[in-house]
Amino acid sequence: MIKPIGSEELQPRFVYDSDEHDKLSHEAESLPSIMISSQAAGNAVMMGAGYFSPLKGFMNVADAMGAAESMTLSDGSFFPVPVMCLVENADAIGDAKRIALRDPNVEGNPVLAVMDIENIETVSDEQMATMTQKVYGTDDAEHPGVVAFNGQGRNAISGPIQVLNFSYFITDFPDTFRTAVEIRNEIAERGWKKVVAFQTRNPMHLAHEELCHMAMDRLGCDGLVIHMLLGKLKKGDIPAPVRDAAIRKMVELYFPPNSAMVTGYGFDMLYAGPREAVLHAYFRQNMGATHFIVGRDHAGVGDYYGAFDAQTIFDEVPEGALEIEIFKADHTAWSKKLNKVVMMREAPDHSKEDFILLSGTKVREMLGQGIAPPKEFSRPEVAQILIDYYQSLNG
């Protein structure tokens, strides 16, 4: 199986030993505690689950700046985005060297992790501006990722963490949330050698389904891991339970047995386009995928990024940093001429009118009115789940 990044073994930060877990949970209740942001909580979950391995904790400002500017930390290791614990006010910590990090997303704000503090630094406006521009490619206050990143505060608390739970992901998505450790184990159990991963924050229409089949066929893969984001999204995105149901129905009906796993991970969407594509590849290698599909406008929002920026950025990844291979896909759509889904660049004799293309707005309108998109766009069984959701909003 493909090795995790930077080591022979995955290094999850979750405390798996039950005695140690009990002891740490008990200790955490007596430690000074601080409420962290939703973005920091997602980072803690990803470290706990092994996805960000071998990262041991939250970055200091020098490492965060290195990640933003050159995807390289102070020790020379590779990481494509800053992983920070930023807070408005660090007074509650005092001079404590060990603190409890409380979860903003779960009622009662239980302790999510325990942190050994190495540094508390103030991030300057200039440093925040540099990180924002490098990671998001914009400083536009309308960009949802820019808003979330800059709204956390300016005090950076850094140091290694020990994670005690996986926030709401394990309770809200018990059948879907999986750690990188669990996915690696299941890939091994299924006997898959070549595995392609597909990232989604949306339901999958026919073009996405066919793209996965294409990638599997062309790469000669044994298996596909559909790996959906389960964390916070921007307003108007379809909630994870609905997306989950739609994707499971598609896999059940249109994929052969033992060819696809439906899983998810606990993280808030960054909407950082190219940089987020590299992060996606990073943690897909850690979960055991050998290949990763990067399509048109991957992890984008609005028109902040060029259609294929998320593919060309892999030319900037330091040599040898990633072993996972990128399957570079074009937009896929139904060809009226060929009567099947194709990658648009592979049909040079087609004009726009030869494809069935529907905007997201148009599809949402149709679903809201109880109208299924054409079968060349969406499987009817998938469309029905989405119709039921949109009609419940109107009801």
Quick check: is 202 catalytic? yes
Contact between 180 and 50 under an 8 Å Cβ cutoff? The reply is yes
Beta strands 195-200 and 223-229, pairing class = parallel
The one catalytic residue in 202, 218, 364, 394 is 202
Strand partners, 5: none
Between CA 378 and CA 329 the distance in angstroms is: 19
Which residue reads 């521009």 in tokens?
A: 133
The one catalytic residue in 154, 201, 248, 364 is 201
Structure tokens, 64: 């965060």
Question: Pick from 100, 227, 238, 226: which is nearest to 159 by CA?
Answer: 100
Between CA 210 and CA 339 the distance in angstroms is: 13
The DSSP-derived string for 248-314 is: HHHHHHHS-TTSEEEEEE-------THHHHHHHHHHHHHTT-SEEEE-TTTT--TTSS-TTHHHHGG
Contact between 38 and 47 under an 8 Å Cβ cutoff? The reply is no
**Residue 188 CB: number of other CB atoms within 10 A?**
12
For 370, left (φ over 0), alpha (ψ -120 to 50), or beta? left
Letter for the amino acid at 178? R
H or E segment and range at residue 41: helix 38-48
**Residue 228 CB: number of other CB atoms within 10 A?**
22
Query: How long a stretch of residues is the chain?
Result: 395
Contact between 12 and 49 under an 8 Å Cβ cutoff? The reply is yes
Letter for the amino acid at 82? P
Question: Which residues are CB-contacts of 108 (< 8 A; sequence separation ≥ 6)?
Answer: none
Quick check: is 286 catalytic? no
Contact between 87 and 155 under an 8 Å Cβ cutoff? The reply is yes
Structure tokens, 223: 């298996």
Catalytic residue annotation:
201-202
